Amino acid sequence: MKNFNLEKIVRENIRNMKPYASARSEFDGKANVFLDANENSFGSATIELYNRYPDPLQKKLRQKIAVIKKVKDSQLFLGNGSDEPIDLLIRASCDPGVHNIIIMPPTYGMYEVAAAINNVEIKKVDLTTAFEIDTEKVLTAVDEKTRIIFICSPNNPTGNVMNQNAIKEILNNFNGLVVVDEAYIDFALDKTIVGELSAYPNLVVLQTFSKAWGLAALRLGLCVASEEIIDLLNKIKSPYNINTATACLVSEALDDDSFIKKTVSNIISERKNLALKLSQLEQVEKVFESDANFLLVKMNQAEELYRYLMECGIIVRNRSHEKHCEGCLRITIGTKEENEKLINTIKEFKK
């Protein structure tokens, strides 16, 4: 959308409000006596010191991540998981009980939950049975109250990357935010849409450290978009949303890309291996193509198999009640040993 105007889709109260001014955001000069934030000047109840509030805008960490993601740090928002920007984007643009968002089932559950919490209507336009975007239906579903279209690519739970031309058609024809959730993009980096940010002022891309980086417990998600959109998110986020422990540990992780390189390649090769082994089992009807760290697998007795696996101590995700996913289980790629155990356990499943 060339004449996209962010102002027009920001809620009036958000546009008019003044953000919270924290002690650390009011003072960022040099000092060595900090008596401004009611912190504990004597130290922390832990060995490591955590008595000082963190940088509200995570300047250093953002600069470091921006280099790796090849974007400007002003185009980067850091969140307490990518679930935080999902919620903030809805809260910034949708008046409760007035505006709506569009999602494309089967997809990630948090868009719907975040909208429901905010009393924002959810319009569902199913993906096709081949799990592709039905562009025409999506654009027809848009009305004057539609503020956000969520696209998950690679999609959870189906694993496929969405056609980039379909995404661009939506970007070109929708005068609201198009949020592309790339939580699994590190497994298919050449397919990221981040390179299109300068062409589309209404594009917002979400990524996370929870999957390929193996840092789910630290809760760090990121949102890449125009500087204007990033400023908006920073205006309404809670002041110290990224804690110091997370910032330090992630910063450390960024210094060495050998882990992510090695594990992404391991996971991709295990995925291929597991897909092949699964497809040879009589209990399996179909293994869907995946660009992520999981496989969607259609079983001939999904419910029974799911319960049987659970009794054997193997937990997978039952997705058989999701749109177009009848009989499907979602299986995360495990280690070689875990995958072998899964295959051998399924082989023992009596029909």
Ligand X SMILES: *Cc1c(COP(=O)(O)O)cnc(C)c1O
Q: Considering only CA atoms, which of 287, 307, 289 is closest in space to residue 350?
A: 307
Quick note: the x/- pattern for ligand X over 150-179, rule CB under 6 A, is: --x---x-----------------------
Query: What does the per-residue mask of binding to ligand X show for 97-136, with x meaning CB under 6 A?
Result: -----------x----------------------------
| Shortest distance (Å) from residue 208 CB to ligand X | 3
Asked if 216 touches ligand X (CB under 6 A), the answer is yes
Q: Is 181 an interacting residue with respect to ligand X (CB under 6 A)?
A: yes
Separation CA 185–CA 206 (nearest Å): 10
Binding segment for ligand X (CB under 6 A), chosen from 23-31, 80-88, 306-314, 323-331, is 80-88
* Total of residues contacting ligand X (CB under 6 A): 12
Candidates 75, 202, 210, 318: give the one binding ligand X (CB under 6 A). 210
Decide whether 11 or 207 has the Cβ nearer to ligand X.
207
CB nearer ligand X, residue 233 or residue 346: 233
- Beta pairing partners, 24: none
Nearer to ligand X, 216 or 276 (CB): 216
Segment contacting ligand X (CB under 6 A): 19-27, 77-85, 302-310, 338-346?
A: 77-85
Residues 266-305 close enough to bind ligand X by CB under 6 A: none
Closest distance to ligand X from the beta carbon of 45 (Å): 28
- Tokens encoding 350: 């009596």
Look-up of token digits 């060495």: 256
Cis peptide bond N-terminal to 106, omega within 30: yes
* Window of 3-11, 208-216, 261-269, 314-322 that interacts with ligand X by CB under 6 A: 208-216
Helix (H) or strand (E) holding 76: strand 76-79
Rule CB under 6 A: say whether 81 interacts with ligand X: yes
The DSSP H or E segment spanning 308 is helix 302-311
User: What is the C-alpha to C-alpha distance for residues 332 and 351, in angstroms, rounded to an integer?
Assistant: 24
- Residues 209/223, Cβ–Cβ less than 8 Å: no
CA separation, residue 117 to residues 90, 122, 222 (Å): 10, 11, 21
d(CA 1, CA 307): 47
SS3 127: coil
Residue 122: CB atoms within 10 Å? 16
Q: Which of the stretches 76-84, 140-148, 168-176, 252-260 binds ligand X when contact is defined by CB under 6 A?
A: 76-84
Edge-to-edge strand ranges of the sheet holding 284-287? 284-287, 294-299, 328-332, 317-318
Binding site for ligand X (CB under 6 A): 81-83, 108, 152, 156, 181, 183, 208, 210, 216, 221
